[in-house]
């Protein structure tokens, strides 16, 4: 099972989309193993977006992500990173197909509802920024036998 970090951004929380995002990920078959509501302080935002520090959009990115509460989550499942990235759609909602989270709910590239890790290294780093190992709980659900049948393992 692979783990990935997902965040409902301030615009998603403010618009009441957190439950919708969670429901979509659960229906896909992913397992929620950690979740918290928080207001990201500027220091944590700087660590999270350190890779973008030299880019011209960095100050706006920090302003936005610290502008309101977010819901930080860890999800797990087979190929969880790719599964979440597909469900999110492209960063630019104008290019996101209907049926994706951004395609259905986002209108601008700046306020695009959701963040998800883009690879295993980013997932490990982002999970560690927001969660301790003790805050993550992985409990299999009974219906997972229909999602991951024994014949495929």
Alpha helices in the chain (DSSP H): 10-14, 18-28, 42-48, 58-65, 80-88, 101-105, 120-130, 144-147
Contacts of 7 (CB under 8 A, 6+ apart): 70, 71, 72, 73, 114, 115, 116
Whole-angstrom distance, CA of residue 146 vs CA of residue 54: 46
Helix (H, G, I), strand (E, B) or coil at 51: helix
Within 13 Å of residue 63, how many CA atoms lie on the same side as its CB? 6
Active site residues: 115
31 forms bridges with which residues in the sheet?
76
Whole-angstrom distance, CA of residue 30 vs CA of residue 17: 18
């Amino acid at each position: 099972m692979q783990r990935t970090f997902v965040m409902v951004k301030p615009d998603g929380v403010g618009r009441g989309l957190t439950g919708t995002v969670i429901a979509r990920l659960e229906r896909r078959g992913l397992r929620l193993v950690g979740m918290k509501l928080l207001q990201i302080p500027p220091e944590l935002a700087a660590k999270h977006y350190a890779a973008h520090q030299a880019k011209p959009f960095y100050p706006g990115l920090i302003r936005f992500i610290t502008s309101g509460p977010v819901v930080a989550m860890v999800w797990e499942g087979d190929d969880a990173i790719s599964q979440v990235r597909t469900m999110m759609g492209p960063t630019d909602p104008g290019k996101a197909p209907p049926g994706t989270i951004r395609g259905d709910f986002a209108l601008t590239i700046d306020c695009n509802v959701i963040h998800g890790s883009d690879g295993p290294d980013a997932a490990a780093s982002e999970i560690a920024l927001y969660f301790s190992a003790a805050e993550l709980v992985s409990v299999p659900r009974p219906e997972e036998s229909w999602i991951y049948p024994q014949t495929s393992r």
